[in-house]
Each structure stands twice: as C-alpha cells, then as structure tokens.
Amino acid sequence: MNSNDISSSRRKLLQGAAVTVAAAAAAPVFAQSASGSNTAGTATAAPLADPKKLYPQPPFQKQSQPWPGLAGKMEPQPDHGEQSYRGSGRLAGRKALITGGDSGIGRAAAIAYAREGADVAIGYLPDEEPDAQEVLELIRAEGRKAVAVPGDIRDEAFCRQMVENTVKELGGLDILVNNAARQQSHASIMDISTEQFDWTVKTNLYAMFWITKAALPHLPQGAAIINTSSVVTYSAPDNLLDYSMTKAGITTFSKSLAKQLIEKGIRVNVVAPGPFWTPLQVSGGQTQENLETFGGDTPYKRPGQPAEIAPLFVTLASTEASYVTGQVFAATGGNGLP
C-alpha cells in the first residue's frame, strides 16, 4: 500500500468515527430482534420515527422514593435499552467498570457494553440490589461475565477495593465509567447542610478521583475513561447548586486528566446529559412540581431515556474514537449545550 492509499484509508477511518460520534447523540440506533438474539452482523436499523414522540412526554405523575431510588418502581419505567439495543461486537473482549451501573445511564451503558462483547463490573449502593440483579442477569444473558461490586463510594478504601475486585474477577480493566452521582434539590444554599454538601461532593468528585487513581496502574494503552457530567455545567439551575458545582468539576477534571494521560495512550472524555428519566429525579433530585413537567422545557418536549445516550458511551469506549480525548459530548434534547 502506498502513502496515498494509507492517507486515504486514514481519512475514511476518521470520517467514519466522526459520523459515529455525531449519530450516537440521537435515538437508539440498534434494534433488537424479537427473539432477543444478539448475533453480531445481523442487526437491522430501527424504522424512522419522529424522535420527539419515541418516549413519554410530561405531564408525569407525582412520585417520590427514598434515596437512592429504584428504576423498577418508577412510573413510567425508564428504557435502558433492554429490548432495543443490539450490539455488533464493537467492544469484543473489553473489560469495563461502571459506577452506578444498576439503573439510569449507568445501566444503559452496562447493557450496551455487554451486547457489544465486553465483560462488565457494576458498582452500586446495597439499597439498589434489586435493580443491580436485573442488570447482572442481562449481562450474563449475552454470555458475558458480570461482576457485582456493592458499596459506598464515599469511602476511599471501598473505591480502591472495587477496582481491585474488578481487575481480579475480569482479568483486567480497560474501560472505566465514572457515572454514579448524588443529586438533591434545595431551593436555597441555606437549606444545604454541611453533611449534605459533603455527601454530594464525596459521591460526585472524591469518588471519581479515588477510583481513577486506583484504576490507572491497571489501564493499558488504548484504554478509555468516560466521566458523566451534566448540562448543568453550562446552565446551572437555582435548585441544584452543589450538584451543578460538582458536575462542572467533573468536566474540568476530565479535560485536564486527558492531557496527562494521552502520554500513556489513555483517552478521557465526558458525556453531559440533559434531562434524563432516571431514579435521581424521583429520589430528591427534583421538586414534585418540576418532576411533573420534567423535560418539557426542551425542544423535544420530553426527557431523554437512558437507552438514547448509551451509544455515546459505546463509541467513546471503542477504538473508533481513537482521535477523541478531552472532549464533552452531550445529549440535551435540542437545547444546544454544551
């Protein structure tokens, strides 16, 4: 192959990766067969449809759960891609750790990773065991190894142990998704106690720092770190002061870390969701008034479903995104942020 052929092939590869990243922000792009089979190479595209009408729109009924909430008790229940996501081997042989992998966006990523051929460990709070067991069963149904790592990531020792358990059980680690978060609505800074502030900051920032440090010695060249931030980094609501602060911190942390780790051949990127229908919202993350109209202020007139953002996590973990690091990718329902 001559130099012109090489240049042409490289351009096609990068163009393909760019198209894939852009398309991933759209609605679910893989349709699963009626039988649930996951044979690579036989996926068929979902039929075209108006994305505004793919999922429920507000008003939603009032509902409340104690922290941290369970997806299985939400009405309507979120779609994590259980029936819609179909893989094609893009992560075959990979080994992933996803915090907050029991529900919401973390659950959608775990399902997608398994269907793309990866073994997956999920971290979660013990109170989330019912949701976690469903995810573990879905991972195993794809013939992949599933590892449960329950515990509280506010504990530095547990964060280290979670990584060590993952590496031991999976035989390595090459995808790290720092996704677990705490979100609580407070009308005023005066309503946020030091204990509550500490809880949010340790869950959202300290844990990411501890887990990433513990994971780095195990990550090979070509590994990927994906951190979940939020659109509130760029447009912070008045009732999510401490949460918004931590999400902005995640974004900045990731951009700086990306510059450090590219020397080691490790990529770091950020996914910044807009309003997504997850247990965060019904377990104190929104007021009841906001919950009823949740997502209605977007051009889509509805919140996103976790299944709609999973393809972003797949693309950023895959080798197709080899030239992508230090970037923020959003799915905001048309609000144009970031």
Q: Cβ contacts of residue 289 below 8 Å, gap of 6+? A: none
Helix (H, G, I), strand (E, B) or coil at 284: helix
Q: How confident is the model at residue 336 (pLDDT cuts 50, 70, 90)?
A: confident
Residue 75 scores a pLDDT above 70: yes
Q: Which two tokens stand for residue 79?
A: 């779609």
Structure confidence at residue 10 (pLDDT): 40
| H or E segment and range at residue 2 | none
Structure confidence at residue 44 (pLDDT): 74
CB burial string 281-309: b at 16+ within 10 A, e below: bbbbbbeeebbeebbbebebebbbbbbbb
Bigger pLDDT: 129 vs 26: 129
Q: Other CB atoms closer than 10 Å to residue 231's CB: what's the count?
A: 25
| H or E segment and range at residue 272 | strand 267-273
> Average per-residue pLDDT in the chain?
90
Distance CA 48, CA 11 (A): 29
Q: How confident is the model at residue 142 (pLDDT cuts 50, 70, 90)?
A: very high
| Residue 97 identity | L
Structure confidence at residue 1 (pLDDT): 46
The answer to whether 95 and 172 are in contact (CB under 8 A) is: yes
Q: Which two tokens stand for residue 17?
A: 């990766």
Residue 33 scores a pLDDT above 50: no
> What is the pTM (predicted TM-score) of this model?
0.88
| Residue 335 identity | N
Structure confidence at residue 39 (pLDDT): 39
Share of the chain above pLDDT 90, in %: 85
Q: How confident is the model at residue 43 (pLDDT cuts 50, 70, 90)?
A: low
Q: Which residues are catalytic?
A: 243
Helix (H, G, I), strand (E, B) or coil at 99: strand
Q: Counting every residue, how long is the chain?
A: 338
Q: Which two tokens stand for residue 158?
A: 């547990």
Q: Encode pLDDT of 222-263 as tens digits.
A: 999 999 999 999 999 999 999 999 999 999 999 999 999 999
Structure confidence at residue 7 (pLDDT): 42
Q: Encode pLDDT of 264-276 as tens digits.
A: 999 999 999 999 9
The answer to whether 120 and 113 are in contact (CB under 8 A) is: yes
Extended strands (E) in 118-179: 119-124, 146-150, 175-178
Q: Which two tokens stand for residue 271?
A: 């996914």
Q: Cβ contacts of residue 23 below 8 Å, gap of 6+? A: 29, 311
Q: How confident is the model at residue 12 (pLDDT cuts 50, 70, 90)?
A: very low
Structure confidence at residue 308 (pLDDT): 98
Q: How confident is the model at residue 21 (pLDDT cuts 50, 70, 90)?
A: very low
Q: Encode pLDDT of 280-328 as tens digits.
A: 999 999 999 999 999 999 999 999 999 999 999 999 999 999 999 999 9
Average pLDDT over residues 86-98: 98
Structure confidence at residue 188 (pLDDT): 98
The answer to whether 268 and 327 are in contact (CB under 8 A) is: no
Structure confidence at residue 181 (pLDDT): 98
Helix (H, G, I), strand (E, B) or coil at 245: helix
Distance CA 153, CA 184 (A): 17
DSSP string of 48-85? P--GGGSS--SPPPP----TT--GGG-SSPP--STTT-
Could you give the domains of the chain?
60-331 (3.40.50.720)
The answer to whether 252 and 328 are in contact (CB under 8 A) is: no
Structure confidence at residue 46 (pLDDT): 83
Distance CA 55, CA 53 (A): 6
Structure confidence at residue 28 (pLDDT): 41
Structure confidence at residue 155 (pLDDT): 98
Bigger pLDDT: 338 vs 192: 192
Share of the chain above pLDDT 70, in %: 87
β-strands 267-273, 224-228 pairing? parallel
Q: Cβ contacts of residue 42 below 8 Å, gap of 6+? A: 33
